[in-house]
Structure 1
C-alpha cells in the first residue's frame, strides 16, 4: 500500500465504519476530507457527501474546496493566533488583567483573572450558557458574560469555556480598535494567506451542511446537561428545525452575535486549514508574523498537561519518538493539529452531525486520522530519523 493510499483508505473508512466502543445507533458523518503534510509528504483525501443524501436531495460530493463551519476551531485559527501576533508586537501581555481591556469584567474575583487564564481555560468562568435566552442584543450578551457570577475559583482547575474565548475576542477588539472580523483579517487571515476563510457565512455555495438544526442545544437547554441552565426550550422561539448550511451552527454565535465571536463563527476549507497548521509546524520560518519565543510559550504545557495556551496538547509517537502535538477540535467535526519544529501538520474536515443516528465524536474521528497519519509519518520522518542516527 502506498503512503497516499493509506489516507484515501482512511477517508473511506471514516464514512463507512463505526469504531468499537461507541453507543448503539452511532453512525458516521456524511462526508470527510483529510490532509497530512510532513517533510517529503503532502497528501489529501476526501470521501462522501456535503449533506445526507435523501430521496429529495441530490448526493453532492464533499470535495477539498468545500467550505466547513469550524465551530471551536475558531478559538485557535482566529483568537489564539491573533493574541500571539499582538503579543509578538508587544501590544498585550499574558499576565495582563482582563479588566484592563474589559473594565466591566471586575466584580467578585474577576479582577484577578488574566489573559493567560482565559487561554488556559482556568479563569473560573462558566463553560456555556444559552446567551440568546438571556439577551437580545450583542451588547446585552457581552454584559451578561461580564456580570455573570464565576462558576469556579479562578486558577484552580481547567474548565473548557466558550465564555473565556468570547472575552478574548473582545480583548482583541479592544487592543486593535477594530471589529473582530477586521482584526482577524489583518492579523491572521491576510498574513497567512487564508483566502477561503471568513466569519459568519460561507464564501461559496460549495458548503457542507453542518447539522440538521438546533437539536443539540435544544436538548442541552431542556436537560441541563452537561451544564445547568435556568431556562427551557419553550423560552425561545427561534430554534432552527431544518438543516443548517452556510451559516454558523453555534447557537450563541448565530442567534446573538451575528456569526462573529472569539469562540466560534469561522468558515474555511481543508487547504486553508492545512496551510494554517503548516505555518505553526514551521513556526521559525515565519518570524515576520510572530516572535518564535512567543509561539513557543503558547506551545508549552501549562498546569494541565493536556492544555497549552489556546491549543490542546498531546503526544504523537513517530519512529519511536514522542513528539508534542498541538491541536484543537470543533463540535461540527473539524480539527487542526501540528507538531511544532518538525514540519508536521494535519487537518480533518467533516460534517459529523449530518447523520441519521448518533454522531461519532469529533475526537474519535481525529484519533482515527492520527492512526493513519502515524503509519505515514513512521515511513517518512521515522526513516529519516533512523538514517540520521546511523
Structure 2
C-alpha cells in the first residue's frame, strides 16, 4: 500500500486535528515525472454513495486560482490588465474612501483593505448585478496596502476585472482563457459537468451561524433577515452562500466544480508552465509565482513548503472551504490535488488546512521514496483504489 492511499484511508478514519471529526470521503491525486497516483477512500454523500476518482467536487475558494488568478495571468500577459493599475479603471463603482489607490496587485495579495466576507445575498435578493455593486460600494475595513486580510470580496472584484478586460461574463472568460486552453473539459461554473457529485454540506448552517453570532465577522445582519436558506444536503450547486444565493454561481472567489483529474491537470499545467508559453509570458508567470510581502502569499497563490527527501521545495496552491485544495511545484512537474467531504462529518469538521497538510506530508513521503527507489512504470489500473 503506498503512502498516498494510506493517508486517504487514515483521513476518513481519523481527523488529523484533535476535537474534530474526519471527512466522510477523500480523493488524493499526485503527479510527478514518472509518477501517476490516485487514492480514494470513503463516501461522497449522506446516503453512503462511494467516493470515486470520477466524483465532481465544489472547489469553493480553489476557484480563486483555477479561474481568477490564472485568467489574470493571461490578461496581464496580453497587456489587457496591469498589476499596478487601479481597480476602479475596471470597476468604476469601486471608488472613494481610499479605494482609488487600491490596485489589482493589492487584491491578489489580499492587501486591498476590504472586508473579508459580507452576506451580499441579504440585500441583493438574487440580483447578480446588484450584489456586485453592493460589494464594490462597501467601505474599506482596513487601510489599503498595509496588511494582508484574506478577502472573498477582493476576489469578487477581481472577477469583475476579468470580465471588464475580457469583454464577457466571467464564466465565458474563464472558459476561453483557462479551461479550454488547458484541456479542463469538466471544469465549469455553477454546476458540475457530470452526474456523480460530492455533497458539500448538510445545509446552509455555517453561514446562518455566522450571521447570528457575528463570528468571525461582525456583519449587521441575522439569519432571519434572509428567507432562502438551504436546509437539506447541498449537492450540484455552490456551497458558498454569496456564489449561490447572490451571484448565480459565477464569481471570482467561488463557484467552480471539477473532478480530481481536472484539478490535478490544472496543477500539472501550472507546474510545467514553460510548456504553455503560447498562453502567457514567462516573466508574468514568474511575477505571479514570486513571494509577496506577506509570508505564505504570492499573487493569488498561497505558498507552502513540501519536504522531498533532504530538500524542501515551494508548492504554490490554494485551499477551499469544502475540503478541496490544489498545489504544484513550478519547474518540477509536481502536482497535488485534494478533494474531500469534510462538511459531512458527524461533528465539528476538521479544517481544510489540516487535511491539506496531511496530503502534502503524504505526497512528500511518496516523492521521497520514488526519488530514492526509482521503479519501473506501473499499470495505471493499480494506482487507484476505492473503499
TM-score interval, smaller chain: over 0.9
- Please tell me whether residue 97 in structure 1 is matched to residue 86 in structure 2: yes
Work out the CA distance in 2 between the residues paired with 1:169 and 1:200.
15
Task: Map Cα deviations across residues 319-356 of structure 1 (whole Å, 9 max, x no partner).
Answer: 21221110100000100001111111100001110111
TM-score where L is the length of structure 2 = 0.94
Residue in structure 1 matching 2:246, options 243, 247, 256: 256
TM-score, reference length from structure 1:
0.94
Size of the aligned set, in residue pairs, is: 373
Distance 2:268 2:359 in 1: 17
- What is the CA-CA distance between 1:383 and the residue it aligns to? 6.6
1:82 paired residue number? 71
Q: Which residue number in structure 1 is paired with residue 22 of structure 2?
A: 28
CA RMSD, 1 decimal: 1.2
Match of 2:44 in 1: 50
Give the equivalent residue in structure 2 for 1:310: 300
Q: Distance in 2 between matches of 1:91 and 1:139?
A: 23
Gap change, CA 1:80 and 1:323, over 3 Å in 2: same
Distance 2:106 2:197 in 1: 35
Please report how far the alpha carbon of residue 157 of structure 1 lies from its aligned counterpart in structure 2 after TM superposition. 0.3
Q: How does 1:136-175 map to 2 (within 5 A)?
A: 136=125, 137-175=127-165
For residues 291 and 311 of structure 1, the distance between their equivalents in structure 2, rounded to whole angstroms, comes to 18
Matches of 1:212 and 1:36 in 2, distance apart? Answer: 29
Q: Secondary structure at the match of 1:134?
A: helix
Quote the Cα distance in structure 1 between the aligned partners of 2:15 and 2:276: 40
Instruction: Please say if 1:247 is aligned against 2:237.
Output: yes
C-alpha distance 14-161 of structure 1, shift in aligned 2 (>3 A): same
SS of 2:343 mapped into structure 1:
coil
Aligned to 1:387: none
Distance 1:381 1:101 in 2: 47
- In structure 2, what is the equivalent of residue 113 of structure 1? 102
Paired residue secondary structure (2:315):
strand
Distance, in Å, in 2 between the alignment partners of 1:64 and 1:185 is 23
The answer to whether the 8 Å contact 1:39/1:380 transfers is no
Structure 1 counterpart of 2:4: 7
Contact kept, 8 Å, 1:332 with 1:351, in 2: the verdict is yes
Given that 1:67 and 1:267 are in contact with CA atoms closer than 8 Å, whether structure 2 keeps it comes out as yes
Inter-partner Cα distance in structure 1 for 2:297 and 2:332: 20
The separation in 2 between residues aligned to 1:104 and 1:229, in whole angstroms, is 21
Task: Specify which of 357, 360, 364 is matched with residue 374 of structure 1.
Answer: 364
Give the 3 Å change call, closer, same or farther, for CA 370–311 of structure 1 in structure 2.
Answer: same
Alignment check: 8 A CA contact 1:320 1:382 kept:
no
Return 5+ residue gaps in structure 2 as ranges.
Answer: 375-387
1:18 to 8, 15, 18: 15
Tell me how far apart the structure 2 counterparts of residues 328 and 383 of structure 1 sit (CA, whole Å).
Answer: 30
Residues in 1 aligned to 2:304 and 2:197: alpha-carbon distance in whole angstroms: 31
Query: 2:318–2:327: 8 Å Cα contact kept in structure 1?
Result: yes
Question: Does the aligned pair in 2 maintain the 1:329–1:362 contact within 8 Å?
Answer: yes
1:37 to 31, 34, 44: 31
Report if the CA contact (8 A) 1:319-1:383 is conserved: no
Instruction: Give the Cα–Cα distance (whole angstroms) in 1 for the partners of residues 250 and 213 of structure 2.
Output: 27
Query: Within 2, Cα distance between the matches of 1:286 and 1:381?
Result: 26
Question: Offset of 1:91 from its aligned partner?
Answer: 1.1
1:130–1:382: structure 2 CA closer, same or farther, 3 Å change rule? Answer: farther
Deviations 1:59-114 (A, max 9, x none): 21111111100000000000000000111111111001101111111111100000
Q: For structure 1, list consecutive stretches of 5 or more residues without a partner in the other structure.
A: 385-390
Q: SS of the counterpart of 1:316?
A: strand
SS at match of 1:226: coil
TM-superposed CA distance for 1:378, in Å, is 1.1
Segments ≥4 residues shifted beyond 6 Å: none
